[in-house]
Amino acid sequence: MECILTKIVHLTSVHPPFDVRIFYKECLSLAEAGYEVVLIAPHQRDDWAKGVTIRAVPKPRSQFERMTRTVLRVLRQAINEDGRIYHFHDPELIPLGMILKFLGKQVVYDVHENVPEDILTKDYIPPCWRKWVAVMAGTVEHLGSKWFDGVVAVTPNICRRFPRDKTELIRNFPIAEELMPSSHNAYGNRPPFLIYAGRISMDRGISEMVEAMGLLPESLGAKLLLAGVFTPEGLYDHVLGMHGAERIEFRGLLSRSDLRNLLGQARIGLALLRPGPNQSHSYPNKLFEYMAAGLPVVASNFPLWKEFVEETGCGLLVDPLNPRAIAEAIEWLLEHPEEAAAMGRKGMQAVSSEFNWGKEAKKLCQFYQRLLGA
């Protein structure tokens, strides 16, 4: 597919430059399609990687600085780039998007979450303010979407909040070949390791996962590998003091290649987000990554997730707030390795044929072509 050489500028004040969706999926796909791609993000220095130019702004030292000084620095750098299309990824950049639109640029808002619903769960906002802040955020999004040339959303639930004629569903499916297991590490030869990869927090189920590990029979020899960053940082000390923590090994934030290697050592992937508006209606990126790696999953029994897990037969669904149910599902999979391996193969086949980034990348390029044609 040929595209005219056009400068596309992606903007974020929140995410790191090598964010999976922003860099590895969207930016790289657009660069491979023939666009000149620039990514403006908090980083130590300007950089260049895989055909994408990275323009660094200083990392903020606080949330307030991020939402003020960092946003202004992103705007200044964005204007200097003089791109054709500006594609931003954070709701705090909506005013910036409006300014760029006023300057005659085409602007795309990439909506990663249902922002008003997400605000209702933010602990750092006083409970009495959350409803009003959520209403204000929704209003700003609505007004901005009237101005912007396009909206990209990760789920159908989010798409419904924006104008149908300018909104495209670009789901956050994995790059299928990136995490597929190597042939030399057969499933049956692996130790009884479980893995959770992603942001490690209470809303992502870390407390219930640790409790479940403490309920498993010692004879299983099970160990939970954690890959990611604790949020907030103090949560790490809390987890270390829990019963079951002795069966956990923390690997920190991993590169994509290191994550692939770690997935290749595990026998089960955990995706046990607690119930919440965003969680229940979101596509579980980590669940699809486990599937791509050929791992059977133990996942939250949300209705949307149920469609994927039961349809593909790739794992077991449980109440994410019930450590006993989680432990029983883990124990069954470890004690039935042939059935578990079959579930992993079904998940990998489903990602390879249907739930993969390749299809979403084509939709993204077609979306850009429509914008440029307009």
Give dist(CA 331, CA 335) in Å, integer: 6
Instruction: Give CA angle at 257 (224, 55), nearest 5°.
Output: 115
According to the model, what pLDDT value does residue 184 have?
A: 60
According to the model, what pLDDT value does residue 308 have?
A: 83
According to the model, what pLDDT value does residue 118 have?
A: 80
Contact 155, 171 (CB under 8 A): yes
According to the model, what pLDDT value does residue 277 have?
A: 67
Give dist(CA 151, CA 148) in Å, integer: 7
pLDDT along the chain (374 residues), means of 10: 74 95 97 97 96 97 93 97 97 96 97 85 79 88 92 92 94 88 77 95 95 97 96 90 95 91 95 81 84 96 88 96 98 97 95 93 96 83
According to the model, what pLDDT value does residue 183 have?
A: 61
According to the model, what pLDDT value does residue 256 have?
A: 87
According to the model, what pLDDT value does residue 359 have?
A: 92
According to the model, what pLDDT value does residue 125 have?
A: 80
Spell out the domains of the chain, with CATH numbers in brackets: 7-173+356-373 (3.40.50.2000), 176-353 (3.40.50.2000)
Q: 119 vs 63, 131, 231, 309, CA distance in Å?
A: 15, 8, 16, 28
> Of 94, 140, 151, which Cα lies nearest the Cα of 116?
140
